């Protein structure tokens, strides 16, 4: 692989100091845009405009796309109108639209003023699609072929117009009304006879999505079908754009981060950890902590209502943490498995009975094992009486049982009700299971110990 970034950074700073811009430029242009962007993030901010101007036009634009929004903003503020226009001209439309979406209003005006009228119109159109829709991540720069074209004409068409297209590897065949009627890969074109017709070679039953389709579902289609790009159509099935695999991977990564943040009771954000201030992290974390803390009041009330029983048998308190934790762990195992199944599309609402049946069996197996081990441990290690051991072990079976059923059912029901199932994960389930397990615990104790 490459020299480590740290070394490169030092070299870059030395060259900057010594004003060896020629060498600096040679050194930069052999790097990958993503690496240059990472270097620029670390470089001194005041030298950024200078460094950026060293890059050739196309590389500059590609690097710009890879940068974090705060750095993009810094650069744009320093650009002359001519420089801004040059960068905008090199951007693909989906990247330009993403940029406009992220910049503060004052810069957006300047960006749109400097974009050419066609680009401006297209950026505005892309920005009109709902935030999480296929429309919002698509690009409109794709290769369009007609059914009656020959392979030779098609390849010529690609060679003539391909330079501005985000991908030339999948071409889209439309009729006179721009309706999508087929797709054909560059591979098929290259491997076919020059005078074969596109309509005879194309795949006529292409998978497509509507502009309003959820972008996460679009990304899952890439996983399922191994696409390099996917056509996006409007309500009249006219082709309006394509989503490419690199954007699909970004959506998957983002969706996954969001999922596990929700599952850990964090309000999702899309900024990297080290770029997020402590106050922002606080704002993302405090709402659920507060809600869950206040919910724990109910658990406290359950304990208070059994206070006299507890006072008579203080030893019961010692097993509260074990029962709560085991219940929480069982519940989060089930909920995590089900949430992942839902987001991979392996599970749906109609599977609820099968899931419940399976979790029922798993909970019996887990409950019996844990409770047997626990019973022996209580008798021989903790040396409590057989009745106490029975109370704790019976509670354990019931807790595991309830935890697994609540844990698997809530995410499925929550998705059915239109909420994100990831919210129904460990912290939330734990709070519910706590209340259930303590109620069971004290009820069994009151009964068996005659409290």
Closest CA to 422 of 338, 351, 362: 338
Q: How far is the CB of 113 from a second copy (least distance, A)?
A: 29
Q: Does 272 bind a second copy (CB under 8 A)?
A: yes
Q: How far is the CB of 90 from a second copy (least distance, A)?
A: 16
| Residues facing residue 170 across a β-bridge | 185
Q: Does 441 bind a second copy (CB under 8 A)?
A: no
Selected range binding a second copy among 50-58, 95-103, 114-122, 306-314, rule: CB under 8 A: 306-314
Number of residues this chain uses to bind a second copy (CB under 8 A)? 116
Nearer to a second copy, 239 or 366 (CB): 366
Nearer to a second copy, 187 or 416 (CB): 187
Q: How far is the CB of 311 from a second copy (least distance, A)?
A: 5
Selected range binding a second copy among 86-94, 106-114, 235-243, 276-284, rule: CB under 8 A: 276-284
Nearer to a second copy, 177 or 308 (CB): 308
Handedness of CA 165, 248, 236, 128 (dihedral sign): negative
Q: Does 354 bind a second copy (CB under 8 A)?
A: yes
Choosing from 51, 427, 436, 440, the residue that interacts with a second copy (CB under 8 A) is: 427
Nearer to a second copy, 21 or 169 (CB): 169
Choosing from 124, 317, 447, 448, the residue that interacts with a second copy (CB under 8 A) is: 317
Alpha carbon distances (Å) from 303 to 12, 244, 440: 64, 56, 11
Return the residues of window 370-409 that contact a second copy according to CB under 8 A. 370, 373-374, 377, 381-382
Largest CA distance in the chain: 93
Q: How far is the CB of 61 from a second copy (least distance, A)?
A: 14
Choosing from 332, 393, 395, 414, the residue that interacts with a second copy (CB under 8 A) is: 332
| Residues facing residue 139 across a β-bridge | 242
Choosing from 16, 59, 296, 352, the residue that interacts with a second copy (CB under 8 A) is: 296
Q: Does 21 bind a second copy (CB under 8 A)?
A: no
Choosing from 282, 349, 419, 447, the residue that interacts with a second copy (CB under 8 A) is: 282
Choosing from 71, 100, 240, 438, the residue that interacts with a second copy (CB under 8 A) is: 438
Q: Does 355 bind a second copy (CB under 8 A)?
A: yes
Choosing from 148, 361, 447, 448, the residue that interacts with a second copy (CB under 8 A) is: 361
Return the residues of window 118-157 that contact a second copy according to CB under 8 A. 155
Q: How far is the CB of 376 from a second copy (least distance, A)?
A: 11
Q: How far is the CB of 275 from a second copy (least distance, A)?
A: 9
Q: How far is the CB of 360 from a second copy (least distance, A)?
A: 8
Choosing from 147, 153, 169, 352, the residue that interacts with a second copy (CB under 8 A) is: 169
Q: How far is the CB of 421 from a second copy (least distance, A)?
A: 13
Nearer to a second copy, 124 or 360 (CB): 360
Nearer to a second copy, 110 or 165 (CB): 165
Task: Using CA atoms of 185, 190, 194, 198 in order, give the dihedral in degrees to the nearest 10.
Answer: 0
Return the residues of window 198-257 that contact a second copy according to CB under 8 A. 204-205, 207-209, 222-226, 228, 245-246, 248-250, 252-253, 256-257
Selected range binding a second copy among 42-50, 116-124, 174-182, 362-370, rule: CB under 8 A: 362-370
Choosing from 17, 279, 380, 417, the residue that interacts with a second copy (CB under 8 A) is: 279
Closest CA to 34 of 77, 5, 56: 5
Closest CA to 232 of 373, 138, 301, 133: 138
């Amino acid at each position: 692989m490459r020299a480590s970034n740290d070394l490169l950074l030092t070299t870059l700073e030395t060259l900057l100091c010594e004003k060896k811009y020629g060498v600096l430029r040679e050194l930069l242009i052999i790097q990958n845009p993503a690496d240059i962007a990472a270097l620029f993030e670390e470089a001194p901010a005041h030298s950024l405009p200078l460094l950026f101007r060293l890059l050739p036009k196309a590389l500059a634009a590609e690097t710009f796309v890879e940068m974090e929004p705060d750095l993009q903003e810094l650069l744009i503020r320093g650009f002359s109108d001519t420089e801004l226009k040059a960068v905008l001209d090199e951007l693909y439309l989906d990247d330009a639209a993403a940029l406009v979406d992220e910049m503060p209003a004052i810069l957006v005006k300047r960006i749109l003023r400097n974009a050419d009228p066609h680009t401006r119109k297209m950026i505005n159109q892309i920005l009109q699609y709902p935030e999480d829709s296929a429309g919002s991540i698509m690009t409109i720069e794709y290769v369009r072929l007609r059914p009656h074209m020959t392979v030779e004409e098609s390849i010529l068409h690609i060679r003539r117009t391909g330079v501005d297209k985000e991908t030339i590897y999948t071409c889209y065949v439309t009729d006179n009304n721009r309706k999508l009627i087929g797709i054909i890969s560059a591979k098929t074109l290259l491997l076919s006879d020059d005078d074969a017709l596109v309509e005879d070679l194309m795949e006529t039953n292409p998978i497509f999505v509507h502009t309003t389709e959820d972008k996460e579902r679009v990304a899952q289609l890439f996983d399922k079908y191994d696409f390099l790009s996917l056509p996006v159509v409007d309500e009249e099935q006219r082709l309006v754009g394509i989503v490419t695999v690199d954007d699909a991977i970004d959506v998957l990564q983002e969706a996954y981060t969001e999922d596990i943040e929700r599952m850990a009771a964090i309000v999702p954000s899309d900024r990297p950890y080290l770029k997020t201030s402590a106050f922002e992290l606080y704002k993302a974390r405090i709402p659920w902590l507060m809600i869950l803390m206040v919910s724990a009041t109910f658990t406290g009330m359950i304990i208070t209502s059994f206070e006299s029983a507890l006072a008579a048998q203080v030893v019961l308190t010692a097993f509260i943490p074990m029962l709560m934790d085991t219940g929480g762990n069982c519940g989060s195992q089930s909920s995590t498995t089900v949430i992942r199944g839902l987001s991979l599309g392996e599970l749906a609402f109609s599977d609820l009975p099968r899931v419940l049946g399976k979790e029922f069996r798993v909970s019996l197996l887990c409950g019996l094992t844990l409770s047997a081990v626990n019973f022996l441990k209580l008798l021989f290690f903790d040396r409590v009486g057989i009745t106490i051991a029975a109370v704790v072990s019976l509670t354990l079976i019931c807790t595991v049982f309830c935890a697994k059923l609540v844990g698997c059912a809530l995410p499925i029901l929550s998705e059915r009700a239109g909420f994100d199932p990831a919210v129904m994960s460990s912290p939330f389930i734990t709070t519910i299971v706590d209340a259930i397990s303590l109620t069971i615990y004290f009820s069994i104790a009151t009964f068996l110990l005659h409290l």
